[in-house]
Amino acid sequence: MSKEKHDESFRVVDRRLFGEDGQLRPDVAEQEEKDRAAAVQKLQAAASVSPPPALSATQAGAQAPGTAAPATPSTADAPKSSRHFRMLLGLLANQAEACLGGMADPRTGQAFLDLDGARAIVDIFDDLTERTRGNLAAEDRQILLDIIGNLKVTYLEMEKAAAAMQAADAAGAAPPGARAKR
Protein backbone atom coordinates (compact mmCIF):
# COMPACT_ATOMS: atom_id res chain seq x y z
CA MET A 1 0.00 0.00 0.00
CA SER A 2 1.23 3.42 -0.81
CA LYS A 3 1.28 6.20 1.69
CA GLU A 4 -0.77 9.27 0.85
CA LYS A 5 1.26 12.41 0.45
CA HIS A 6 -0.24 15.69 1.53
CA ASP A 7 0.30 18.66 -0.70
CA GLU A 8 2.06 21.21 1.52
CA SER A 9 1.88 24.00 -1.07
CA PHE A 10 -1.82 24.62 -0.42
CA ARG A 11 -3.05 25.54 3.02
CA VAL A 12 -6.46 26.70 4.25
CA VAL A 13 -6.51 29.10 7.20
CA ASP A 14 -9.70 29.76 9.13
CA ARG A 15 -9.86 33.53 9.67
CA ARG A 16 -13.28 33.62 11.30
CA LEU A 17 -13.27 35.45 14.63
CA PHE A 18 -16.03 33.41 16.24
CA GLY A 19 -16.60 29.67 16.55
CA GLU A 20 -19.81 27.74 15.90
CA ASP A 21 -20.99 28.46 19.45
CA GLY A 22 -20.75 32.23 18.88
CA GLN A 23 -17.80 32.67 21.25
CA LEU A 24 -14.51 34.33 20.34
CA ARG A 25 -12.08 31.64 19.22
CA PRO A 26 -9.16 31.11 21.65
CA ASP A 27 -6.47 31.58 19.00
CA VAL A 28 -8.02 34.91 17.94
CA ALA A 29 -8.06 36.15 21.55
CA GLU A 30 -4.40 35.14 21.94
CA GLN A 31 -3.45 36.94 18.72
CA GLU A 32 -5.28 40.10 19.83
CA GLU A 33 -3.39 40.03 23.13
CA LYS A 34 -0.07 39.60 21.28
CA ASP A 35 -0.92 42.50 18.96
CA ARG A 36 -1.89 44.69 21.92
CA ALA A 37 1.39 43.85 23.72
CA ALA A 38 3.41 44.58 20.57
CA ALA A 39 1.65 47.95 20.19
CA VAL A 40 2.45 48.86 23.80
CA GLN A 41 6.11 47.94 23.29
CA LYS A 42 6.21 49.97 20.08
CA LEU A 43 4.70 52.97 21.88
CA GLN A 44 7.18 52.67 24.74
CA ALA A 45 10.10 52.45 22.32
CA ALA A 46 8.85 55.47 20.35
CA ALA A 47 8.37 57.49 23.54
CA SER A 48 11.87 56.73 24.77
CA VAL A 49 13.44 57.72 21.43
CA SER A 50 11.45 60.82 20.50
CA PRO A 51 12.74 64.17 21.77
CA PRO A 52 10.54 66.26 24.07
CA PRO A 53 8.21 68.67 22.25
CA ALA A 54 9.58 72.18 21.77
CA LEU A 55 7.97 75.01 23.69
CA SER A 56 6.12 77.60 21.68
CA ALA A 57 7.11 81.24 22.08
CA THR A 58 4.19 81.93 24.42
CA GLN A 59 4.95 78.91 26.60
CA ALA A 60 8.66 79.75 26.74
CA GLY A 61 7.88 83.35 27.70
CA ALA A 62 5.48 82.24 30.43
CA GLN A 63 8.16 80.19 32.17
CA ALA A 64 10.02 82.23 34.76
CA PRO A 65 13.81 82.42 34.39
CA GLY A 66 15.69 80.05 36.65
CA THR A 67 12.81 77.59 37.02
CA ALA A 68 13.11 74.03 35.85
CA ALA A 69 11.40 72.95 32.66
CA PRO A 70 8.30 70.83 33.11
CA ALA A 71 8.90 67.09 33.11
CA THR A 72 8.41 65.27 29.83
CA PRO A 73 5.30 63.09 29.66
CA SER A 74 5.75 59.45 30.60
CA THR A 75 4.62 56.61 28.39
CA ALA A 76 1.39 56.41 30.39
CA ASP A 77 0.66 60.04 29.45
CA ALA A 78 1.61 59.53 25.79
CA PRO A 79 -1.26 59.98 23.35
CA LYS A 80 -2.89 56.78 22.18
CA SER A 81 -3.65 55.95 18.58
CA SER A 82 -7.24 56.75 17.68
CA ARG A 83 -9.24 54.70 15.23
CA HIS A 84 -11.76 57.53 14.93
CA PHE A 85 -9.06 60.05 14.07
CA ARG A 86 -7.73 57.72 11.34
CA MET A 87 -11.30 57.35 10.02
CA LEU A 88 -11.61 61.15 9.87
CA LEU A 89 -8.35 61.36 7.95
CA GLY A 90 -9.59 58.69 5.54
CA LEU A 91 -12.87 60.51 4.93
CA LEU A 92 -11.07 63.77 4.21
CA ALA A 93 -8.53 62.02 1.97
CA ASN A 94 -11.35 60.36 -0.02
CA GLN A 95 -13.06 63.72 -0.46
CA ALA A 96 -9.80 65.25 -1.66
CA GLU A 97 -9.32 62.36 -4.09
CA ALA A 98 -12.80 62.97 -5.47
CA CYS A 99 -12.06 66.69 -5.89
CA LEU A 100 -8.87 65.87 -7.79
CA GLY A 101 -10.61 63.64 -10.33
CA GLY A 102 -9.92 60.32 -8.64
CA MET A 103 -13.59 59.32 -8.49
CA ALA A 104 -16.46 59.58 -10.92
CA ASP A 105 -19.46 61.78 -10.22
CA PRO A 106 -22.31 59.37 -9.38
CA ARG A 107 -24.81 61.36 -11.47
CA THR A 108 -22.80 61.69 -14.67
CA GLY A 109 -20.25 58.90 -14.37
CA GLN A 110 -17.52 61.36 -15.35
CA ALA A 111 -14.53 62.32 -13.21
CA PHE A 112 -14.58 65.95 -12.12
CA LEU A 113 -11.90 68.38 -11.05
CA ASP A 114 -12.56 70.81 -8.20
CA LEU A 115 -9.25 72.50 -7.41
CA ASP A 116 -10.86 74.96 -5.00
CA GLY A 117 -12.42 72.13 -3.01
CA ALA A 118 -9.14 70.21 -3.01
CA ARG A 119 -7.27 73.32 -1.84
CA ALA A 120 -9.77 73.73 1.01
CA ILE A 121 -9.15 70.14 2.11
CA VAL A 122 -5.37 70.69 1.97
CA ASP A 123 -5.90 73.70 4.23
CA ILE A 124 -7.98 71.55 6.60
CA PHE A 125 -5.17 68.99 6.79
CA ASP A 126 -2.63 71.76 7.46
CA ASP A 127 -4.88 73.15 10.21
CA LEU A 128 -5.27 69.66 11.73
CA THR A 129 -1.50 69.26 11.76
CA GLU A 130 -1.04 72.57 13.53
CA ARG A 131 -3.82 72.09 16.08
CA THR A 132 -2.90 68.52 16.99
CA ARG A 133 0.84 69.12 17.33
CA GLY A 134 2.08 67.16 20.35
CA ASN A 135 -1.29 65.49 20.93
CA LEU A 136 -1.14 62.64 18.42
CA ALA A 137 0.27 59.16 18.71
CA ALA A 138 3.31 58.59 16.50
CA GLU A 139 1.31 56.32 14.17
CA ASP A 140 -1.49 58.87 13.72
CA ARG A 141 0.99 61.70 13.17
CA GLN A 142 2.81 59.67 10.49
CA ILE A 143 -0.44 58.83 8.69
CA LEU A 144 -1.42 62.50 8.73
CA LEU A 145 1.94 63.59 7.33
CA ASP A 146 1.86 60.90 4.62
CA ILE A 147 -1.61 61.95 3.50
CA ILE A 148 -0.65 65.63 3.43
CA GLY A 149 2.49 64.94 1.41
CA ASN A 150 0.70 62.79 -1.17
CA LEU A 151 -2.23 65.19 -1.39
CA LYS A 152 -0.06 68.26 -1.94
CA VAL A 153 1.96 66.54 -4.69
CA THR A 154 -1.21 65.37 -6.44
CA TYR A 155 -2.79 68.82 -6.07
CA LEU A 156 0.22 70.52 -7.66
CA GLU A 157 0.27 68.03 -10.55
CA MET A 158 -3.43 68.51 -11.23
CA GLU A 159 -3.10 72.29 -10.96
CA LYS A 160 -0.30 72.28 -13.55
CA ALA A 161 -2.31 70.01 -15.86
CA ALA A 162 -5.39 72.23 -15.54
CA ALA A 163 -3.31 75.35 -16.27
CA ALA A 164 -1.79 73.70 -19.33
CA MET A 165 -5.23 72.73 -20.63
CA GLN A 166 -6.55 76.27 -20.09
CA ALA A 167 -3.56 77.72 -21.92
CA ALA A 168 -4.07 75.29 -24.79
CA ASP A 169 -7.78 76.12 -24.99
CA ALA A 170 -7.03 79.86 -24.93
CA ALA A 171 -4.46 79.52 -27.72
CA GLY A 172 -6.71 77.22 -29.73
CA ALA A 173 -3.99 74.60 -29.81
CA ALA A 174 -4.23 70.94 -28.92
CA PRO A 175 -3.42 70.03 -25.32
CA PRO A 176 0.09 68.66 -24.64
CA GLY A 177 0.42 65.04 -25.66
CA ALA A 178 -2.49 65.19 -28.13
CA ARG A 179 -1.78 64.41 -31.78
CA ALA A 180 -2.76 66.86 -34.46
CA LYS A 181 -5.26 65.53 -37.03
CA ARG A 182 -4.16 65.43 -40.65
pLDDT in tens, 100-114: 888 887 788 888 889
How far apart CA 40 and CA 31 sit, in angstroms, is: 14
Boundaries of every domain in the chain: 81-171
pLDDT in tens, 13-27: 677 777 778 777 777
Instruction: Find the mean pLDDT for residues 132-160.
Output: 91
DSSP-derived letter for residue 96 is H
pTM, full prediction: 0.51
Q: At what angle do helices 115-131 and 83-99 cross, to 10 degrees?
A: 160
How far apart CA 5 and CA 2 sit, in angstroms, is: 9
3-class SS at 103?
A: strand
